[in-house]
């Protein structure tokens, strides 16, 4: 069916040059949004008021009640030396092997409870990752890093560390029916800030040592028949570091990596990384990003919302990862910063507050769902997505400037003459507020965008024209 046969006659004179959807650059391998469970699950999973903890899990994972994050990254804790008391609230993630030969499978029951709660609410992809080996495998006898920020896994412990990680994966599969699709033994391994006395787990690995543990873990997975779990790597802090390391690994190491993980806190080689992943035939994830904006502690901070939206749009349009994963959805209220979608008290009173950044994330995750095709646009502040199964077109607009009108050209889609689009907006004065519907014309639509806002436009019952 075409426009003429439906006799669409309504048209609009655009007040500005309309944004064009670059369908020729769209991709259809997007599998969802996620969060790490470190460190918040270690705290909320132990709340006495589990009804309140369940409210938080609804807000994070439930697609109807909350953000609908469908990817969870489970932190296999190293377990700190009892002589060290430096770790931040939530950061003291228990290890399953407090000493060689001894296993404690109930050690991390709190994080496991949140993982199970996420899966119950619709999360369908689980990844396991490690920040540090157990303290007794390290050179410094601490999960916080080496004294000098260098390699911290003892030379005689590479096989033991690989066995530790894969044994956790095996136990979760066999005892709790949870299959981790990927296992990442590293976290920001190229960074040199992992020094003994840090307030969180961390471990530096030189590139050759990264390759060694990657191969050891892959071999251990295979030897234990864990064929449904593959190695992901290497969760570097910078996209450029990820590129460098992938270009340095030998072919044997590259061959056993099933998924490339990168953080996007830093780096500019997004397109190069996308191209390299395609050449290697590897799935690519943006596995960690978080932001706190530039303002002092406030649940209404908009600077973090704008930074979040800018990063999502940049990553999805240029790097084109299959998944986009936030660091931790719930942050410690006591940290007095603006990171996270929800602030909860990690110590003391069991309370939480929803932040403005939560609604900024909702402007994306509530409407752009797994399976949608991501569509770049010719404007850096706009992103589109089309779900062919639901016949839903989503347009997201980031406006950090003054109020304006934004127009979209929609010549590649067909729809009813009476179609109206839903509009949702987050701004200093609104939290994903449902605004009045707007008319859709045969040549597109125009929407008002408030000052300092994120606006999402949803068009249902639309069909992409066949070329």
Q: Map out the domains of the chain with their CATH numbers.
A: 3-24+376-464 (2.60.40.1180), 31-370 (3.20.20.80)
Structure tokens at 464: 């992409």
Please give the pLDDT value at position 8: 54
Please give the pLDDT value at position 175: 98
Please give the pLDDT value at position 9: 60
Of 43, 127, 167, 188, catalytic: 188
Contact 248, 205 (CB under 8 A): no
Q: What is the SS3 assignment for 436?
A: strand
Please give the pLDDT value at position 7: 46
Please give the pLDDT value at position 10: 75
Is 188 designated active site? yes
List all residues 6 or more positions away from 281 whose beta carbon is below 8 Å from its beta carbon. Answer: none
Residue labelled with tokens 């530039």: 294
Blockwise average pLDDT, block size 10, the chain, 467 residues: 48 86 97 97 96 98 98 97 89 95 96 98 98 98 97 98 98 98 98 96 98 98 98 98 98 98 98 98 98 97 98 98 98 97 95 98 98 96 97 98 94 93 98 97 94 98 89
What is the C-alpha separation between 331 and 460, in angstroms, rounded? 35
Is 155 designated active site? no
**Model confidence pLDDT, tens digit, residues 400-415:** 999 999 999 999 999 9
List all residues 6 or more positions away from 466 whose beta carbon is below 8 Å from its beta carbon. Answer: none
Please give the pLDDT value at position 12: 81
pTM of the predicted protein model = 0.96
Of 80, 288, 307, 331, catalytic: 288
CB atoms within 10 A of CB 461: 12
Q: How far is CA 305 from the centre of its chain?
A: 15
> Of 1, 134, 69, 98, which Cα lies nearest the Cα of 330?
69
Contact 34, 323 (CB under 8 A): yes
Q: Describe the chain by its helix, strand, coil percentages, rounded to 5.
A: 30, 30, 40
């Amino acid at each position: 069916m075409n426009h003429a046969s439906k006799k669409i006659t309504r048209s609009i004179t655009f007040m500005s040059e309309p944004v064009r959807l670059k369908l020729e650059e769209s991709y259809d391998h997007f599998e969802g949004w996620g969060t790490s469970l470190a460190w918040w699950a270690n705290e909320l999973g132990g709340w006495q008021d589990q009804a309140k903890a369940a409210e938080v899990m609804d807000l994070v994972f439930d697609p109807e009640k909350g953000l609908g994050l469908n990817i969870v990254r489970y932190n296999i804790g190293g377990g700190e030396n009892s002589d060290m008391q430096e770790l931040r609230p939530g950061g003291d993630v228990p290890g399953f092997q407090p000493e060689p030969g001894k296993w404690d499978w109930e050690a991390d029951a709190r994080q496991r409870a949140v993982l199970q709660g996420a899966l119950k609410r619709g999360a369908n992809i689980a990844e396991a990752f490690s920040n540090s080996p157990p303290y007794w495998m390290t050179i410094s006898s601490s999960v916080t890093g080496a004294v000098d920020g260098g390699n911290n896994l003892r030379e005689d412990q590479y096989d033991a560390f690989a066995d530790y990680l894969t044994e956790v994966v095996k136990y979760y599969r066999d005892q709790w029916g949870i299959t981790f699709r990927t296992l990442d033994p590293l976290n920001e391994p190229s960074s040199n800030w992992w020094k003994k006395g840090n307030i969180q787990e961390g471990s530096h690995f030189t590139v050759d040592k990264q390759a060694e543990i990657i191969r050891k873990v892959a071999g251990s997975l295979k030897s234990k028949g864990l064929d449904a779990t593959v190695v992901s790597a290497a969760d570097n802090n910078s996209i450029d570091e990820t590129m460098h390391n992938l270009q340095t690994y030998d072919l044997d190491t590259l061959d056993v990596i099933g998924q490339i993980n990168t953080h996007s806190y830093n780096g500019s080689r997004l397109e190069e990384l996308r191209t390299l992943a395609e050449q290697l035939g590897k799935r690519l994830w943006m596995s960690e990003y978080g932001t706190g904006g530039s303002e002092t502690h406030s649940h209404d901070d908009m600077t973090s919302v704008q930074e979040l939206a800018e990063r999502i749009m940049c990553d999805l349009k240029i790097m084109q990862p299959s998944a986009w994963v936030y660091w931790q959805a719930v942050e410690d209220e006591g940290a007095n910063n603006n990171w996270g979608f929800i602030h909860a008290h990690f110590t003391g009173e069991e309370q939480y507050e929803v932040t403005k950044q939560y609604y900024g994330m909702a402007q994306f995750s509530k409407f752009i769902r797994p399976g949608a095709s991501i569509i770049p646009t010719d404007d850096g502040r706009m992103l589109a997505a089309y779900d062919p199964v639901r016949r839903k077109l989503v347009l997201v607009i980031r406006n950090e400037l003054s109020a304006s009108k934004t127009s979209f050209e929609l010549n590649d889609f067909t729809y009813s003459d009476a179609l109206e689009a839903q509009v949702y907006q987050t701004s200093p004065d609104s939290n994903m507020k449902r605004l009045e519907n707007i008319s859709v014309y045969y040549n597109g639509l125009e929407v008002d965008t408030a000052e300092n806002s994120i606006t999402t436009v949803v068009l249902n019952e639309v069909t992409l024209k066949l070329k």
